[in-house]
Amino acid sequence: MNATSYSAEQATDTRELRRVALFGKSMQASKCQYVERVVTTLQAHGITVMLDKHFAAILSDYALSPSVAELPHYDASHDDIDMAISMGGDGTFLSTAERLGQRQIPIIGINTGRLGFLADVTPESIETALQLVLQGDYTLSCRSVIEVRVEDKDFELYPFALNEIAVLKHDNSSLIEVETHVDGQLLTNYLADGLIVSTPTGSTGYALSVGGPVLAPESPTFCVAPVAPHSLTMRPVILPDDVELTLQVTSRTGRFLIAIDGRSKSMANGTTIVLRKADYCVPVVKTAGKGFFHTLREKMMWGLDQRNG
């Protein structure tokens, strides 16, 4: 499948589904049945199923039926899959998005982990969700991505974040100072344990845990949220996602951490980090009844009145 451009809003996908690849980071013997069920359901409808080569290596440690064990492997040289299925939690979903890179292949997440915001299909509803997908009864939610540019020849992290990029102190004592510019204009100098810049997708992750707001997934915004700021006046800031953010970090230890969707690397003082919206999105498959607000209510008990009586 060639890369397709998607608008920032939800849209119905009208392409024929012929080839699907399965992705995962880890697996337990008791959960291999979910892979079997996915493969059985798809193959019963004539869909060609592939296993990401890294996931295939993980599954090779378990006793699988021939229909799964003998599946062809997917790698970066394949551009002809129509959809990806992420099997795990949200961390696995982020890893799947990284593996697919800028191909803009739609991803559906089957949650065999814990919370599951991105991976919102429960094991109990695997067949139902896949049947809806096969019928074309789903939408694609286009999720914005942050592109990270770092002036460091040794920087080897994948430079795109579906959730967030964070700069963090390197040890457990000293704060760091993050001089932050927006389109060349000084926003402020954050004195804190760190600073998070999140997409709307990432607003329900790390940014939420430090007091950031919940953002609608398709909103054209970024959230800038300090981690344990030294001043009570430092509050999360919402910015339009067409700006360019420049961060310069100073630490007493001479080093700090940069984390991109959980992938981290130690960096030296004086490193300039430039953030902007990437020129592609990640299409997330949403079946009927699995909208964002439903997920908020279901996963976070959002708005639930817990008072008795």
Catalytic (active-site) positions: 90
Cβ(38)–Cβ(87) below 8 Å: yes
| Tokens read off for 24 | 């995962």
Q: Map residue 195 onto helix, strand or coil.
A: strand
Show the CA angle centred on residue 279, arms to residues 239 and 5, nearest 5°. 120
Cα–Cα nearest to 94, from 263, 264, 274? 263
Place of tokens 């001479």: 254
> CA-CA distance, 12 to 9, in Å (whole number)?
10
Q: Looking at the DSSP assignment, which residues form a beta bridge with residue 146? A: 161, 277
Question: How many Å apart are CA 269 and CA 258, to the nearest integer?
Answer: 12
